[in-house]
Every structure is written in structure tokens, then in C-alpha cells.
Amino acid sequence: MNKYLNKIFISLIVLATLFVAFISSDTVNAAENGMPDAITITSNREVKYIFGDMSGGQIGAYVKQTKNGYVYCIEPQKDSLGRETLLFDGELTDPGYVYLALNGFPNAKPYEEGDDDENYYVTQVAHWMYAYVVYGYANSDKVAGTLIDRNGNQLYRFYGSEYPNSKQVKIANAAYKLYKGAKEAHDKGTTTTYSISLSTVNSTLTSKNGYLISDPVTVTISGVDTYTVNVDTKNATVIGTDGKEKTTFKKGERFLIKVNGTDTVNIDITVSISATTYKVYRYKPESFSKQKVLYTVVVPETITKTAKAHFNYVNDNQVEISKIDITNNKELAGAHLVIRNDKEEIVEEWTSTSTTHKVKLSPGKYTLEETIAPEGFVLSKEKISFTVKSDGTADKVVMKNSPIPD
């Protein structure tokens, strides 16, 4: 080969290498949720527990184990896998696969009395059943027609199936039960909506019997069966409609906010729901002719939704003071009056008019006195005591004056 042809050959080799690298990089997805970009099957050994005089002989499965978990074949119409590296291929959104991962081996023991190999076998057989019924995949391992019919109903045609206490019947039953749960999860659907809303976001507390209380709050939730209520102050408590304190409520239950009476109260609450969802992921071999797999590492994700509301109370209750002309019981103008607290401090003073005087006072004991009488009237020497309740109210206070005699 001359020098010119040699350069062309080398250039073609470089271009081909770059093209292959480009194609390869395009087929590898970036892993999510901390999953590895690739996993390697380090152990791949065959186990068989269902066998006998059925067409095609016994049903075998290969226990495929990686460094951090197991994998299960999910495309039985394709070739089997060996000890090879698999590339990340995205999330499996079908809830049936989530069910198989959570309730199959190694995350659970679908065949409780069995060992690890038997539980792996049960789980793989359930995967084949599921793939056959839900996705219509042909099954070379004779699961269809041996363990289930074309509609996914239980159908055992193998040697010894007439003995219900035999190991292979128990294994077949466990596999069918696992498949059935996955099929039900699939039929239920893939979408769960999580939401929360309140019947009020801004409400006024009402004074009752020495404490403040809100109207019942209705909470509408979806995706979960319970919700929790958190209050931002120690003075307030959350109660149910039965009056009992609690912070967790069932769907459909209402709650109220209760707080000790004070002059002014501002309370913020947070109502929340929380749920855990699970994600499972698929990995694929480099060869398209071989099966993709479900990786048994399950990633939990917490979903939280909140709604907020504000409750306030302003004590606008006032004590009514009336200065009366004893001869006609009408309001009397011109009297100078003072109110003292229990420390003899003046907290209010004014000159009476033809209407009653209203004053806002903190809870406690007080006295009313007259210091200057209206013109033509005798100065009242009476010192009237009264009490303001915790809600800021008091009985109406009345002081009377008599005219100066002719």
C-alpha cells in the first residue's frame, strides 16, 4: 500500500471509530436518582423447581446477581443474558413492575418458607407471567400453557400438580399470587394525584367561655388517607369536632383551632399530607437481541403537599359607662369621671356627654369615680367597683347624679 492510500485508510479508521463512539454514546442514558450508569451480572446460574411431563419439559430460570442487587428478565421473547454489563435505560413507569420489585425477591419473600434461590425463581416466573399477559410476549420457558392460560388465569399442567402440598405447587402458587398483585396494580393505573385544600385561608376566632375558637375547617385531600395540622404558637391547640386535642386527622374529618383568650391573637397553621412513592429502573444489554431487565434496587421518593391558613382575633369588646340623671334616667353631660385599676392608677378619664361612654379595658378589677359634678347636680361620692372578664366584657356600669335642691 502506497503512502497516499495508507493515509486514506487511517483516516477511514478514525472516522469509523468516531462514528461508533457517537452511536454508542447516543444509546446510553444518564442515570437518575443516584442509579449507576451501568451494572454487571456477576453470577448467572440456573435453578429449576417446576418440572414433569408437560410439553417442553421443566421450567428453568437463571439467578442473575450484580454487585448491589438482582436483575429479572422482562422480555422473554428475546435471548437470555450472560455475565455481561448492562446500561441504564430509564425508569419503568408501569406500576406492575414497581409492585414486582417491592413484593418480589430480594425486597420481600413471596415464598416465605423458601430459600433465596427459590424466592428468586418465584419472582422471575411471576415476571414472565406478567410480561405474557400485559405485554403479550411469547414465553419460551412454557409458563404460558403450563402455569397460566392466555387470559392469565391459573392453569397448572405439570407433573405432581395434583399434590397441593408439594414444593413445586407451593412455588407455582406463590408465583401466581405475585403476578396477580402486579396485574391488579397495573389495572389500577399509573396516575396518583396528590393535593390538599382548605375551606378557609383567613378566619376570625370567636371568644367562648374564656378561650378563643375557630369555626370547623374542612380539608380536602387526594392520594392519601390522612393529614396533619401544625400550629405556629404554643398558646394554640388543634382539636377535632369532638373537642379532643390531636394533630392527625383522617380523610373527611374537620378540625378547629383553640386558644386562651387574649387581647390580640394571630395564628398561622400549616396543613400537610405526605406520601412515599417508589421508582424502579430498567437496564439493557448492548445487544438488541437480548432481554432488558428490571433492576431490583428500589428508590423511594417522598411527596409532600401543604396548605396554609391564618386565624386572628382582635379584642374589640368595650365596657359601657353610663352617667344618669336620677330624675329622668337620661344620659347626663358635664360630669368628669375617672377609672382606676386595682393599683389605683388612672387608666381612663373623660367628661360625660349625652351618650354613654365606651372604653376598652384589659381583664381585671376597676373602680369608677366622679371628680367634677355636672352644673346643677350634687357630686357623687359613690365609688363603683366592676370587673372586666377575660373576653374584655363587663356588665354595664351606671352612676347616677341627683340635682342640687332648690
Nearest to 160 by CA among 51, 47, 60, 57: 51
Phi, psi dihedral angles at 359 (to 5 degrees) = -140, 140
CB-side exposure of 271: number of CA atoms within 13 Å? 28
pLDDT over threshold 70, residue 20 = no
What pLDDT sits at residue 140? 55
> Bridge partners of 84?
none
pLDDT in tens, 289-340: 999 999 999 999 999 999 999 999 877 788 999 999 999 999 999 999 999 9
The model's pLDDT over 337-384, given as tens digits with 9 standing for 90+, comes to 999 999 999 999 999 999 999 998 888 999 999 999 999 999 999 999
pLDDT digits (tens, 9 = 90+) for 262-276: 667 889 999 999 999
3-state secondary structure of 173: helix
Distance CA 406, CA 402 (A): 12
Give the global pTM. 0.67
C-alpha cell at 177: 399470587
Contacts of 129 (CB under 8 A, 6+ apart): 143, 147, 148, 152, 175, 176, 179
In the predicted structure, residue 14 carries a pLDDT above the cut 70 = no
pLDDT at 17: 41
**Contact between residue 373 and residue 354 where contact means Cβ atoms under 8 Å apart:** no
Residue scoring higher pLDDT (222 or 12): 222
| pLDDT value, residue 24 | 36
Backbone angles phi, psi at 89, to 5 degrees: -135, 25
